[in-house]
A and B are shown apart, each in its own frame.
Chain A
Amino acid sequence: MAQKTLPTICPSCQGILKVQRLTCTSCGTSVEGSYNLPILGQLSGDDQDFILKLIRASGSLKELAGLYGISYPTVRNRLDSLIEKIALIKEKIEKQED
Chain B
Amino acid sequence: MTAASTESDAKRDKTLSRWLFNPFYYLAGVKAMAIGIVIILISGVLAFFGNSRFDGLLDFHTAPVRSPFWHCLSDGIISWLLLSTLLLVAGKIISKSSVRVIDVFGTQALARAPYLFLALASVIPGVASRALRFGMSIAANQAVFDGFSMDILAFSFIIIITIAMTIWMIILMYRAFAVSCNVSGSRAISAFIVSLLIGELVSKIILFQLSGL
Instruction: Encode contact with A along B93-121: 1 for CB under 8 Å, 0 otherwise.
Output: 00011101001000100000000000000
* Contact residues in B for A72 (Cβ distance below 8 Å): 28-29, 100, 103
Which of B19-27, B55-63, B202-210 faces chain A? Answer: B19-27
At the interface, yes or no: A74 with Cβ under 8 Å from chain B?
yes
CA of A76 to CA of B182 in the docked complex: distance in angstroms? 9
By the criterion CB–CB under 8 Å, are A71 and B29 in contact?
Answer: yes
* Contact residues in B for A76 (Cβ distance below 8 Å): 97-98, 182
Assign chain A's interface to a size class: under 10
By the criterion CB–CB under 8 Å, are B26 and A73 in contact?
Answer: no
A77: nearest residue on chain B (CB-CB)?
Answer: B182
By the criterion CB–CB under 8 Å, are B96 and A73 in contact?
Answer: no
At the interface, yes or no: B122 with Cβ under 8 Å from chain A?
no
By the criterion CB–CB under 8 Å, are B24 and A80 in contact?
Answer: no
By the criterion CB–CB under 8 Å, are A74 and B25 in contact?
Answer: yes
Which residues in window 56-88 of A have CB below 8 A to B?
69-74, 76-77, 80
By the criterion CB–CB under 8 Å, are A70 and B182 in contact?
Answer: no
The minimal Cβ–Cβ distance linking A70 to chain B, given in whole angstroms, is 6
* Contact residues in B for A71 (Cβ distance below 8 Å): 24-29, 32, 103, 179
* Contact residues in A for B180 (Cβ distance below 8 Å): 73
By the criterion CB–CB under 8 Å, are B25 and A80 in contact?
Answer: no
* Contact residues in A for B28 (Cβ distance below 8 Å): 71-74
B104: nearest residue on chain A (CB-CB)?
Answer: A73
* Contact residues in B for A73 (Cβ distance below 8 Å): 24, 28-29, 100, 103, 107, 179-180, 182
Chain A interfacial positions (CB closer than 8 Å to B): 69-74, 76-77, 80
Chain B interfacial positions (CB closer than 8 Å to A): 24-29, 32, 96-98, 100, 103, 107, 179-180, 182
Q: What are some 12 contacts across the A-B interface (CB < 8 A)?
A: A69-B26, A70-B25, A71-B26, A71-B27, A71-B29, A72-B29, A72-B103, A73-B24, A74-B26, A74-B179, A77-B97, A80-B182
